[in-house]
Amino acid sequence: MQPQPSRRRISPRRLAALASVTVLTLAVSTSAGNGRLSPDASTAGAGPAALSRSSAHGPCMITADREVQMSEGIPTAPGYTRSTGTVRALTLMIDFSDAPGEGDALDRYREFFPETREWFATSSYGRLDYRPELPVPDWLRMPKSFRAYGIERGAPFDPGYRDLVRDIVAEADPEVDFQSYDLLNVLVTPNAGPAALDTVLSVTFAGNKEAPNADGVPVSNASFVYSRQDDGSGSYDRTGYRVLPHENGHVFGLPDLYTAEGGGAVGHWDIMSEDWGANNDFLAWHKWKLGWLDASQVGCAANPGTREYVLTPLARAGGPKLVFVPLNGHSGYAVELRTRAGNDEAVCRPGVLVYRVDADVDTGMGPITVYDARRDSGGCTRSPNVHAELSDATFAPGESFVDRRAGIRVAVIAAGAEEYRIRVTRTARN
Ligand SMILES: [Zn+2]
């Protein structure tokens, strides 16, 4: 362990992770309304419909055996925002009498765009056309003071956020037709609340069918961004927007991968784990879940025996990206190839990443665990806010991941610039 100075200051947020779990409400019904802030079956490609799979993928479509708020299971439960095609993100900048917006509201907007739109275009290989829309280009003043809403980390939807959403809707309604948007981004003036180094207030209410209505549709998928995630390392201008793709990951149904202990389960291999510091991509599992991989790009190693697979770099469009080795109906191992490209700017040891996915484990409780090919090595990065120990977690040619109890071996047998070859061996158990 080689803790970096700036990480320590961020840890309070991680300790508060359990509290944040409670604010994510259950994804439930599909029939919540006709509008788009709350997806319904009539929306083309909505939610699970975007998932590409064949009958051979059946054993790899793990699902939760018990009730969890947000699951890694495939397909994603209904109620979240569609993650393919054109998605219109209603983006509002709000301020308060006790925290008046400083300067131009558009400057707040420019902290996140066009970077967030580009981040999704890159990560999705162009399958998500994320369009931020700004029908109100000024600060939208809330009728109550910031204090009066009682917003703090881990605050539940009721009563503070319900009041805030109701007031946002009332103030914006003359200029906004809420029915024409797929999700809501609320960019709060950065001087409201504590600095992000002290407490990260940013939060998303996803699949929330109890949300107040706007133009006849519930505002069920909304991300709130507070303060600035500036770690003082000098990279803020390039990387400070990354809290928004993380929060929007929740509106698409993705759980938090950091836990009460911090980012040690997944490190910097997914933006749902680490959204401070250098840019990083989503795991291939998330890309399949979001409808960004075709069935032909996902191998399902469910049968006993030995089989070889090709993997191409996750950051590059086209080619096979993911092999899943199911353990049972709710968990399994995912295997992918990570290189320094696209959104992955901090990869210091390209190679094959192996991680366990468990659909039964809830958001913030460690639903995904990356296996470290080099335990206690200290990692290969000194980049600020990149979890160092797991930065060299990848497996290289000649190395193998082995789960003896389950009779599973994943061997990296060859590596080239364009592709790696792996061999998956499953021993039949009796
Ligand atoms: Zn989160």
CA distance 139 to 151: 19
What pLDDT is stored for residue 35 in this prediction?
46
Compute the Cα dihedral for 296, 298, 303, 304 and give only its sign.
positive
Q: What is the distance between the alpha carbons of residues 51 and 322, in angstroms, rounded to a whole number?
A: 14
316 and 245 both lie in a single domain: no
* 206 and 305 both lie in a single domain: no
Q: Ligand 1 centroid vs 415 CA: distance in angstroms?
A: 34
Instruction: Tell me how far the alpha carbon of residue 185 lies from the centroid of ligand 1, in angstroms.
Output: 14
pLDDT for residue 38: 60
Q: How many domains does the chain have?
A: 2
User: Per residue of the chain (430 residues), what is the pLDDT tens digit?
Assistant: 222 222 333 433 433 333 343 344 333 222 333 346 765 433 434 444 578 888 899 999 999 999 999 999 999 999 999 999 999 999 999 999 999 999 999 999 999 999 999 999 999 999 999 999 999 999 999 999 999 999 999 999 999 999 999 999 999 999 999 999 999 999 999 999 999 999 999 999 999 989 999 999 999 999 999 999 998 888 899 999 999 999 999 999 999 999 999 999 999 999 999 999 999 999 999 999 999 999 999 999 999 999 999 999 999 999 999 999 999 999 999 999 999 999 999 999 999 999 999 999 999 999 999 999 999 999 999 888 899 999 999 999 999 999 999 999 999 999 998 999 999 999 976 5
Q: Choose among 343, 346, 344: nearest CA to 120.
A: 343
**Whole-number Å distance between alpha carbons of 123 and 192:** 31
CA of 299 to the centre of ligand 1 (A): 29
What whole-number distance in Å separates Cα of residue 171 and Cα of residue 188?
15
Q: How far is the CA of 109 from the centre of ligand 1 (A)?
A: 20
User: Does residue 104 share a domain with residue 174?
Assistant: yes
User: What is the Cα–Cα distance from 419 to 212, expressed in whole angstroms?
Assistant: 49
CB burial of 114-139 (b: ≥16 within 10 Å; e: otherwise) equals: ebbbebbebbbbebbebebebebeeb
Structural domain contains residue 271: no
Same-domain status, 302 and 213? no
Closest CA to 13 of 236, 192, 201, 156: 201
| Residue 266 lies inside a defined structural domain of this protein | no
Same domain? For 252 and 330 the reply is: no
Tens digits of residue pLDDT in 364-407: 999 999 999 999 999 999 888 899 999 999 999 999 999 999 99
- Compute, in angstroms, the gap from residue 267 CA to the centroid of ligand 1: 14
Assigned domain for 270 exists: no
Structural domain including 334 reads 285-426
Please report whether residue 234 resides in a domain. Answer: yes
* Inside any domain, residue 312: yes
Burial class from Cβ neighbours inside 10 Å (0-12, 13-18, 19+) for residue 403 reads middle
pLDDT value, residue 292: 98
198-248 pLDDT tens trace = 999 999 999 998 999 999 999 999 999 999 999 888 889 999 999 999 999
Q: How far apart are CA 42 and CA 288, in angstroms?
A: 22
Q: How many helices (H) and strands (E) does the chain have?
A: 9, 17
- Cα separation of 42 and 171, whole Å? 29
Per DSSP, the three-state class of 380 is coil
Q: How far is the CA of 265 from the centre of ligand 1 (A)?
A: 15
Separation of alpha carbons 67 and 207, rounded Å: 15
* Shared-domain flag, residues 60 and 98: yes
Q: What is the pLDDT of residue 120?
A: 98
Q: Is residue 277 part of a domain?
A: no
Residue 171 sits in the same domain as residue 246: yes
Q: What DSSP state is assigned to residue 174?
A: T
Please classify residue 103 by burial: count the beta carbons closer than 10 Å to its beta carbon, then call 0-12 exposed, 13-18 middle and 19+ buried: exposed
Question: Is 276 domain-assigned?
Answer: no
Instruction: Assess whether 126 and 245 both reside in one domain.
Output: yes
Give 246 Cα–ligand 1 centroid separation in angstroms. 6
Note whether 144 and 215 are same-domain residues. Answer: yes
Same domain membership, residue 251 and residue 311: no
Whether residue 148 sits in one domain with residue 46: yes
Query: How far does residue 256's CA lie from ligand 1's centre (Å)?
Result: 5
Burial of 233 (0-12, 13-18, 19+ CB in 10 A): middle
Q: Do 294 and 213 reside in the same domain of the chain?
A: no
Helices (H), 45-133: 105-110, 115-123
- Compute the distance from residue 391 Cα to the ligand 1 centre, in Å: 21
Domain CATH code at residue 41: 3.40.390
Domain-terminating residue out of 236, 256, 276 = 256
Q: Is 165 inside any structural domain? A: yes
Q: Which of 235, 256, 277 is the last residue of a domain?
A: 256
CA proximity to 97, closest of 50, 136, 145: 145
From residue 418, give the alpha-carbon distance in Å to each of 95, 208, 269, 322: 49, 43, 20, 15
- Predicted pLDDT of residue 7: 33
Cα distances (Å, whole numbers) of residue 39 to 27, 29, 72, 77, 121: 11, 10, 19, 12, 21
CA of 271 to the centre of ligand 1 (A): 9
Residue 180: phi, psi to the nearest 5?
A: -95, 15
Rounded distance from Cα 191 to ligand 1 centre (Å) = 21
Give this prediction's pTM.
0.90
Q: What is the DSSP letter of 73?
A: -
